[in-house]
Amino acid sequence: MQFSTPIPIPKSNRPIDYHSKVVLLGSCFAVNMSEKFEYFKFRNTANPFGILFHPLAIEKFIGYAIDKKTFTEKDIFFHNERWHCFDAHSDVSRADKNDMLGHLNSVTKSANTQIAEATHIIITLGTAWVYTNIDSGEIVANCHKVPQKQFGKILLSVDSIRESLANVIALLKNNNPEINIIFTVSPVRHIKDGFAENQWSKSNLISAVHQALSLNQTYFPSYEIMMDELRDYRFYAEDMLHPNQIAIDYIWERFSETHISTAALSVMEEIGNIQKALAHKPFSPDSAQHRDFLQKLQGRIAELQSRHNHIVF
């Protein structure tokens, strides 16, 4: 007996394996996915500018990375005892101005190389609602708790999102013609915008991304899996907005089935077993039995690393 409606997801014809280099950009669900890639020891980079919620912020960051933008004092501002950049998340903010500029320029330079070398980029779109700085007229990635009266709020249209995504595709393909682009819409509910407004926002994102898709771009239905296959509040965290660990694990499982190679799945199983063994807390750490366990575990790790030398536990 089946108690949900599984969403059919086509298998990728260019799946991720242990030779792949993956870049993840976008909302906090991109971080959830990156944590999974990290756990299973795939080569991946996530959100160098921190969480970016909307497509225009992602487009701007990709442009900065590809163009190797140099940030100067005019690109940052001081508020609540920290230096911030309206194009980056507060996680990137620093107490020292020079430290802030150095960090922005360092991660932008690194991102240039990461995007150029990436085999896959996963872009997670969170919301179509954006905030415009009234003084500059610029759409910001993050308001950094600056008083709300300094911003206007607008909903991006399907056309403007599609245009932004088309720009993203062009930027990435011109820089790295072989890159595989995977779009998804975050399953996180942005209820602070309103219930109907959240659905409106997600609808605009979904409509735009499907219109923008072409060769070597795919859509993975994270949002649809959460809304349909996991249609129950028991799959949400305590805030009832973010997917909980069970939901994240399930969405990752669906992603693995369709976007990770068969050979890589067997390596993932090995790594998962090693991770569980490393997390094991022995009753007698000094016992001969535990020393033997550790020796065998190190042998398994060494054998795995002989096949995949980038893997480090």
Amino acid symbol at 255? F
The token pair that represents 121 in the structure block = 């980029």
What pLDDT score was predicted for residue 207?
97
**Residues 183 and 224 sit within 8 Å (Cβ to Cβ):** no
Distance, CA of 170 to CA of 311 (rounded, Å): 32
What pLDDT score was predicted for residue 44?
98
pLDDT tens for residues 23-81? 999 999 999 999 999 999 999 999 999 999 999 999 999 999 999 999 999 999 999 99
Ordered alpha helix ranges (H), the chain? 28-39, 55-67, 97-117, 158-175, 195-212, 222-224, 245-259, 262-279, 288-307
What pLDDT score was predicted for residue 4?
81
Mean pLDDT by 10 residues, the chain (313 residues): 85 97 97 98 98 98 98 98 98 98 98 98 98 97 97 98 97 97 97 95 98 88 96 95 97 98 98 96 89 95 96 95
Tell me how crowded residue 164 is: count the other CB atoms within 10 A of its CB: 21
Which residue segments constitute the domains of the chain, with CATH numbers given? 21-261 (3.40.50.1110)
What pLDDT score was predicted for residue 285?
87
Distance, CA of 66 to CA of 167 (rounded, Å): 13
